[in-house]
Amino acid sequence: MAITSLILGLGLASQLSVSPSPRMLFIPFENQLKDQSQSISLAPLDPIQSHLLQTPAPLQLIDHRQIQPVLEQLKLEPDALKDPQVAQRIGKVLNARYVLTGTVRSGKIHTSATTTRQRTAYSWATTEVSARLIDSQTGELHFASTVTGQSERYPNWQGSTYTSLIVEAVHQASEQLAQKLAAQAIHTGGTP
């Protein structure tokens, strides 16, 4: 089975023939919220991948969809990915040097009160997102960070759902994590 990956960095294709770039596997983040929508687990991946694509760090990204066949081969359930040792094992099977995992927790919906000055109630969400980058060969932790994200404020009459507000807050937090991870990759010469 061919593993598709996105190549990072400008002019990287010519470098690949000389020395292969380290591969990074993205695992959907563990969702510890009441709302178990899969969109919440996947929301952090897009901004992090996008930011890494803009860095000159020579990495190959392995999409999270490559995990399911490996889980089936190893006879593991998706919940097993919560265990860092299982994530490390999957990274080894997929020949990924680095494995990015994380957690979404502490999601909260806020609603403002109406007053004579503010006649419209607004809702917004805050959530906490943590990311960890593990070396699949050594188990060493290369990066760990936790940030809080917040969605925009929407008038209640617009009908924003709990899930959409949480996903927006997760996305905003993930942008912060992506900047930190990309800065570390640039600072260390391409190795996260």
Instruction: Compute the distance between CA of residue 35 and CA of residue 165 in angstroms, rounded to an integer.
Output: 11
What was the pLDDT predicted at 3? 28
Instruction: Compute the distance between CA of residue 101 and CA of residue 124 in angstroms, rounded to an integer.
Output: 26
Percent of the chain with pLDDT over 90: 42
Question: Would you say 111 and 88 are in contact if contact means Cβ atoms under 8 Å apart?
Answer: no
pTM for the model stands at 0.80
pLDDT-based confidence at residue 169 (cuts at 50, 70, 90): very high
> What is the distance in angstroms between the CA of the first residue and the CA of the last residue of the chain?
27
Residue 14: pLDDT above 80? no
For residue 177, give the amino acid letter.
L
Question: Would you say 92 and 98 are in contact if contact means Cβ atoms under 8 Å apart?
Answer: no
CB-count exposure of residue 159 (10 Å: 0-12, 13-18, 19+) = exposed
- What tokens appear for 33 in the block? 């919220």
Percent of the chain with pLDDT over 70: 83
Residue 71: its H or E element: helix 67-73
pLDDT-based confidence at residue 187 (cuts at 50, 70, 90): low
pLDDT-based confidence at residue 5 (cuts at 50, 70, 90): very low
Instruction: Compute the distance between CA of residue 190 and CA of residue 192 in angstroms, rounded to an integer.
Output: 6
Residue 15: pLDDT above 80? no
Residue 98's beta-bridge partner residues? 24, 135
pLDDT-based confidence at residue 63 (cuts at 50, 70, 90): confident
Does residue 55 or residue 170 have the better pLDDT?
A: 170
- What tokens appear for 18 in the block? 């000389």
What's the whole-number average pLDDT of the chain?
82
